[in-house]
């Protein structure tokens, strides 16, 4: 139940030290969202975590729409790699 950022960065980065690109950010956010979703399902009254989860989902949605405008091929590649649906 741990985020291994370095593995995610290695998988999704374009360059060796690429940590801030949209692809990497989306991949890291997706992993955090998966973990936080499990937590919120277990602790239903934890509204602070629920709000944080919703903010992460919104941030990922904005990044995905940005990539969709820039390059649709990369967008579809990210969706398939992360198992997201659109």
CATH of the domain at 46: 1.10.287.10
Instruction: Record the tokens describing residue 80, joined without a space.
Output: 């398939």
The CA-atom distances, in angstroms, between 68 and each of 2, 19, 25, 28, 74 are 29, 20, 15, 18, 8
Domain total in the chain: 1
Please report the pLDDT score of residue 37 as a whole number: 96
pLDDT at 1 over 90: no
Give this prediction's pTM: 0.89
Range of the domain at 36: 5-82
| 11-26 average pLDDT score | 89
d(CA 30, CA 61): 10
Taking only Cα atoms into account, the Rg of the chain, rounded to an integer number of angstroms, comes to: 14
pLDDT digits (tens, 9 = 90+) for 31-80: 999 999 999 999 999 999 999 999 999 999 999 999 999 999 999 999 99
The CA-atom distances, in angstroms, between 54 and each of 17, 51, 59 are 29, 5, 9
Residue from 28, 29, 52, 27 nearest 40 by CA: 52
Residue from 61, 50, 49, 51 nearest 25 by CA: 61
């Amino acid at each position: 139940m741990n985020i291994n950022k370095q593995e995610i960065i290695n998988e999704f980065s374009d360059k060796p030290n690429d940590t801030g690109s949209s692809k990497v950010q989306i991949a890291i956010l997706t992993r955090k969202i998966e973990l936080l979703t499990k937590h919120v399902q277990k602790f239903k009254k934890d509204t602070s975590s629920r709000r944080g989860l919703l903010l992460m989902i919104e941030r990922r949605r904005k990044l995905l729409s940005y990539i969709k405008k820039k390059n649709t091929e990369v967008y579809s590649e990210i969706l398939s790699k992360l198992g997201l649906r659109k």
